[in-house]
Amino acid sequence: MFTRCTNPVAFFLLLSGYGLYASYKLGKRDSMRRIGKLYVHYWLTLLIFVPLGWWIRGSEVYPGSWKQILENVSGWYTGYNGEIWFLFPYMLLVLTSVQLFRWMDKVKLIPFFLLAGSLYFFTYVLVYFWGDSYLYTHQGVYILVLYFNLLFPFLLGGIMMKYNIVNKCKIKKEVALALIVLLMLIRMCIATSFFHVFFAAIFIILFMRVGRGKWLDCFLYEMGRRSTSMWFVHTYFCYYLFHDFIYNFKNPLLIFTVLLVFSYISALVIDYLNNKIQKLINLKS
């Protein structure tokens, strides 16, 4: 039940919308450059883990057919690592972010929130009722549905930044901590994922009001720096390539710790190589 509190996609989209809206207001509107950097980062992980997958699981899975290669390289269908499923719709969000934020600035808050929320509800219903029977086998339609579904948490993050909601929340840290515990208990009792975006938004606001030790902020900062690489690789360890090794540790806390350590070490290597490649690309551009 605790895992209902830990779905990372809503957190990622809220924080991305928050950060990109802040960049937009500062005049930084280089969406193509951002996507280019993200895909170079992603391709680097494929260059490392696809040969490893070929060695462990065979050529039928890694790299598979030319169709599979093109789908995975583009992010259109991430069969090599299914947990990167929202890479392509996220790329579309970033590419259209300037237009989305311009629209957000022109429309009043309540009508805007209702329209974006209605799209979220409608696409959630589509996936819930017609995911297995249609959407999952028609990738183009599914990508379009995902784009409008992910639009709501992405823009909600932008709203949080636009109206400075985090800083306007003046709750005392003890109260904020108690509310976080209550919020998590409520989320654990709700099976549907529909409300998770609201949980994530409230959690972020409350968490920023909680007094944190310096060591925790340092740890979270470091995890944040490595988060993209860890997102790209962690399920290769826990599911696709090293499942038996990871889950052989039996204890859930130990399994999580081992997975975190291996993902972090891999992220250090990938980030080092990625920084070198990105600098080389910048020098040539």
Distance CA 108, CA 217 (A): 35
Give the CA-trace dihedral at 271, 272, 275, 277, to 10 degrees: -110
Q: What is the DSSP string of 220-255?
A: HHHHHHHHHHHHHHHHIIIIISSHHHHHTT-SHHHH
**pTM recorded for the entire structure:** 0.93
Distance CA 113, CA 109 (A): 6
Considering only residues 5 and 243, tell me which one the structure prediction assigns the higher pLDDT.
243
Mean pLDDT of 174-198: 91
Question: pLDDT tens digit string along 189-232?
Answer: 988 899 999 999 999 999 998 878 889 899 999 999 999 999 99
Is the pLDDT confidence value at 285 over 70? no
Question: pLDDT tens digit string along 42-70?
Answer: 999 999 999 999 999 988 889 999 999 99
Distance CA 264, CA 66 (A): 31
Mean pLDDT of 4-14: 90
Is the pLDDT confidence value at 108 over 70? yes
Which among 17, 11, 12 has a CA at the least distance from the CA of 159?
17
Q: Which residues contact 148 (CB under 8 A, 6 or more apart)?
A: 119, 120, 122, 123
AA letter at 276: K
